[in-house]
Structure 1
Amino acid sequence: MGIRDSPHHRTAPPEGPGTGLREGPCTGSREGRRTDAPDGWRRSKVLTVLTVLAAACAAAAAALGAVAVDARRDLGDLTTRTGEVAAVLAAPDARTVRLPVTTGGTGTVVVSRSAGRMVFTSSGLRDLPGSQDYELWLTGPEGARPAGLLDRAAGGVTVPVVAPLEGERRVALTVEPAGGSEKPTTSPIMVARLPTA
């Protein structure tokens, strides 16, 4: 007696009407389905939605990629700046000068002639309108050259500006049009003599 001949094995009768299964969308019957839209229209609608979703996902991925690249660049810039600041501060000939800013606040300059750099930061500077920026200048026998714009953080404290020294004797701070100038356009609100040794 084989498995097929066994009394426990019987072929089940085919399922169909009257067998207890409800006909509808899951059983392949057209009864119970919406028939007010043709199948082609439904497929077209689904494809349109999928296309829009794919485009949105691609745009989001591109935006996240751009943010990641910007973040990596910013982190690299910060790491470089931190290393430059640390080199100036750790130099054996580092000298610090603090002076009041005439419009309020304090400027601090740390100079290392052996490192060939200076670091400038400030605190308590007043807010400027969006049409103006604080700009730092190094002055020497050749005149003034831009040393950088101040990037303000919370409480009027500025992110340290690191600038190479080329024999300049003074550092000055001015208020310039947004984006800075090639040459100072206003009178300095702070001038500090840079230590020579």
Structure 2
Amino acid sequence: MAPTAAAAVVTTALARRSRPWVLAAAPLTALTGAMLWFFRDPERDLGPGLVLSPADGVVQSVDPQPDGRTRVAIFMSPLNVHVNRAPLDGTVTSVEHVAGGFRPAFDKDSDQNERVVWHFATALGDIELWQIAGAVARRIVPYLGMGAKVSRGERIGLIRFGSRVDIYLPEGIAPAVSVGQRTTAGVTRIDHG
């Protein structure tokens, strides 16, 4: 992002001296603004509840799993904040990069995409969270490593552009969200508690 911003500043300065530079300055300035907006990372007041949403977006599915857990899949469009947050207090027990494809994140088969799989030791037991890259999102950036202590709502990583985050609620924890509901990372309650 720094090279784009620097180019925008230089071409804007040159545009003040020579009108043809406006043709370069205008799109570079617009691109810099779009990048600043996309990579925004607002402060949040934590919501109530034990398990908070790890992502901004829309609940794509709420699926019971054969092992008794419930998967809540949250689709993040390019318009959402893409910084992901810890769903509850705990310790990171593993962060694993898994190679895969780059299908659109809203596709039902996107769970085979490139992803980072997190495990957190929590008061509820093991919490599994997947950061899934989409067709445009080709880079997942974990902020923490194994052994890190996390607080609910703490930033854990970033997925660039459209993507999906899945959280697996342990058996006995009922989801408090439904398909189509908008979520805000660190604010929206995921559990019924």
TM-score scaled by length of structure 2 = 0.27
Hey, which of these two has a bigger chunk of helix by percent? 1
TM-score scaled by length of structure 1 = 0.27
Bigger radius of gyration: 1
Relative contact order, CA 8 A, sep 6+: which one is greater? Answer: 2
Hey, which of these two has a bigger chunk of strand by percent? 2
